[in-house]
């Protein structure tokens, strides 16, 4: 009998220990961004905004009576590291969701990891489209929410001759193809289409070709700190916004902090959010961000998209009544949030986000003049209609094959 009770209590103790392990008082989430390398200039701030949203939710009692515990990982501007760390966060850390990635090369590399594990990634950056995954929620702009309206606006308001530059990986290459399709349809002309390795400072040949071509506007798809070298070389060559304006798709308020703002005034950008948006929600967001990270910091579109990603996910968790990935995914479609940029909501058909389109002109640090807005959220269209989906899919596969099974060119 004594042996029986000993076994009984041992089983009871094991059950209690197992329950404590499987029902923790915290919900672990992954924050996977580049905190070092060429992309750290952009991604550190997105990680900060993600952590701010988590802190705000925790301060209000957390989720389902539990605190959210962020596991922050450095992707090191290396998509191989991103994939390895995504796998570790999912299978070893047992996180409920991952917020992260910036470059499309990193997202493309981690996508199979999320699909294999049937997990969930919130991706907060504008991108080239041509993708749709049940395991990814896209809270940045699709092409028809940034690249395409910006091209049309530039054609109507600046000029009809364009020169395209970009980092040599999947986003800039695809963005260039989308722009060229649209410029051709509008009756304009693309005078050049040049790329540099991601992280490269060898931009002088690009600028020399721009000088020779004499375009009306430069479309800039360069990412990371290569932008510092590019704009420095432009200005050294006498190319200023009043002569040939540059329209950037990956330069926002945060990147401007590393540049000479006096030389950037008058150049253009297109996003869904600017720090200068005059709404009560945005004023509170900017005030809280500066209070947490310093009076001299600024907010921008990827920062805001990283922030709202956490809230959209948390709302789905509340509705599901659990942080279980599979249950949460069922409650993601049509989640809405009154964000600093205005109303956003997840499109149930594509898992992209309805967002308002804005075109701006740089005036100062954290100060972008909105020169055009769609006024209302625009439905996301991941695959531009200029080509059939099968043609776009072949375009991507050809890039991948050309780069020897990578989503970026690795060497000259």
| Strand, coil or helix: 29 | strand
Taking only the tens place, the pLDDT of each residue in 288-307 is 999 999 999 999 999 999 99
pLDDT at 125 over 80: yes
Threshold 0.85, pTM exceeds: yes
Taking only the tens place, the pLDDT of each residue in 133-151 is 999 999 999 999 999 999 9
pLDDT of residue 24: 65
Within 100-242, residue ranges assigned H as helices are 104-116, 147-157, 170-186, 204-213, 226-236
Taking only the tens place, the pLDDT of each residue in 147-192 is 999 999 999 999 999 999 999 999 999 999 999 999 999 999 999 9
Q: Give the chain's domains with CATH numbers.
A: 26-141+278-355 (3.40.50.2300), 144-277+361-369+377-402 (3.40.50.2300)
pLDDT of residue 6: 44
- Give CA angle at 344 (342, 345), nearest 5°: 160
Calpha distance 152→164 (Å, rounded):
15
Calpha distance 324→307 (Å, rounded):
21
Chain-centroid distance, C-alpha 27: 24
Calpha distance 242→262 (Å, rounded):
12
pLDDT at 17 over 60: no
pLDDT of residue 15: 42
Report the percentage of the chain scoring pLDDT > 70.
Answer: 94
Taking only the tens place, the pLDDT of each residue in 65-83 is 999 999 999 999 999 999 9
Residue scoring higher pLDDT (260 or 349): 349
- Segment 258-278 shows an average pLDDT of 93
Distances (CA, A) of 234 to 6, 67, 141, 210, 240: 79, 49, 27, 9, 7
pLDDT at 365 over 50: yes
pLDDT at 196 over 50: yes
| Listed residue (130, 86, 84, 85) closest to 104, CA to CA | 130
């Amino acid at each position: 009998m004594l042996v029986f009770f000993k076994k009984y209590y041992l089983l009871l103790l094991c059950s209690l220990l197992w329950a404590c392990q499987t029902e923790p008082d915290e919900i672990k989430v992954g924050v996977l961004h580049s905190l070092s390398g060429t992309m750290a200039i952009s991604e550190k701030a997105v990680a900060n905004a993600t952590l701010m949203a988590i802190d705000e939710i925790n301060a209000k009692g957390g989720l389902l009576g539990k605190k959210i515990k962020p596991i922050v990982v450095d992707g090191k501007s290396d998509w191989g590291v991103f994939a390895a760390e995504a796998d570790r966060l999912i299978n070893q850390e047992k996180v409920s969701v991952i917020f992260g990635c910036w470059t499309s090369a990193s997202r493309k590399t981690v996508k199979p990891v999320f699909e294999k594990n049937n997990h969930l990634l919130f991706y907060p950056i504008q991108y080239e489209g041509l993708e749709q995954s049940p395991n990814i929620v896209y809270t940045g702009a699709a092409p028809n929410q940034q690249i395409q309206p910006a091209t049309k606006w530039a054609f109507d308001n600046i000029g009809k001759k364009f020169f395209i530059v970009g980092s040599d990986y999947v986003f800039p290459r695809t963005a260039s193809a989308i722009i060229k399709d649209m410029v051709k349809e509008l009756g304009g002309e693309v005078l050049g289409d040049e790329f540099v390795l991601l992280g490269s400072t060898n931009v002088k040949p690009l600028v020399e070709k721009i000088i020779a071509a004499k375009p009306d506007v430069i479309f800039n798809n360069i990412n990371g700190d290569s932008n510092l070298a590019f704009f420095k070389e432009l200005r050294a060559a006498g190319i200023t916004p009043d002569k040939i304006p540059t329209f950037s798709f990956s330069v926002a308020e945060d990147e401007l902090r590393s540049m000479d703002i006096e030389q950037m005034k008058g150049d253009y950008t297109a996003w869904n959010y600017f720090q200068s948006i005059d709404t009560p929600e945005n004023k509170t967001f900017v005030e809280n961000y500066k209070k947490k990270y310093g009076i001299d910091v600024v907010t921008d579109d990827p920062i805001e998209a990283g922030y709202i990603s956490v809230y959209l996910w948390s709302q789905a968790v509340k509705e599901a009544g659990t942080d279980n990935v599979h249950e949460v995914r069922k409650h993601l479609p049509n989640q809405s949030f009154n964000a600093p940029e205005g109303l956003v909501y997840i499109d149930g058909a594509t898992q992209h986000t309805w967002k308002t389109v804005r075109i701006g002109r740089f005036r100062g640090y954290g100060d972008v003049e909105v020169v055009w807005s769609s006024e209302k959220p625009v439905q996301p269209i991941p695959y531009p209609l200029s080509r059939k989906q099968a043609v776009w899919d072949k375009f991507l596969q050809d890039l991948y094959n050309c780069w020897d099974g990578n989503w970026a060119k690795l060497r000259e």
